[in-house]
Amino acid sequence: MKELDNLSGFERKLKEIIGDKAKTQQVLDLFPDWISMPLFYKGDKAEMDGKVITIDKCGMKGSCYIYYFTDEEGDQWYAREEELKEI
């Protein structure tokens, strides 16, 4: 199995959708090594500063992935990928 950090979030989502390890690997093998996909996707949960957030959407700012989320007060914020931890 191809163990690339730049596809790990995409691989996780593919496994959720497809459910078949061999087919998931076939899709991942289509990507060149230099391709980087987001680590988180809409609906994913992540930890930021000890709090669990739910990703509303994903985007890019500069050359970094950013993730939008809504806080308890209903305000929308964003964080860069390196600020979030997988849970």
Tell me how far apart the alpha carbons of residues 14 and 26 are, in angstroms, rounded to a whole number: 11
Whether pLDDT at 1 is above 50: no
**Strand 45-48 relative to strand 85-86: parallel, antiparallel, unpaired?**
antiparallel
Biggest CA pair distance of the chain:
43
All structural domains of the chain with their residue ranges: 1-37, 39-87
Per-residue pLDDT tens for 21-46?
A: 999 999 999 999 888 899 999 999 99
Whether pLDDT at 5 is above 90: no
Q: The domain at 39-87 falls in which architecture? A: Roll (2.30)
Whether pLDDT at 64 is above 50: yes
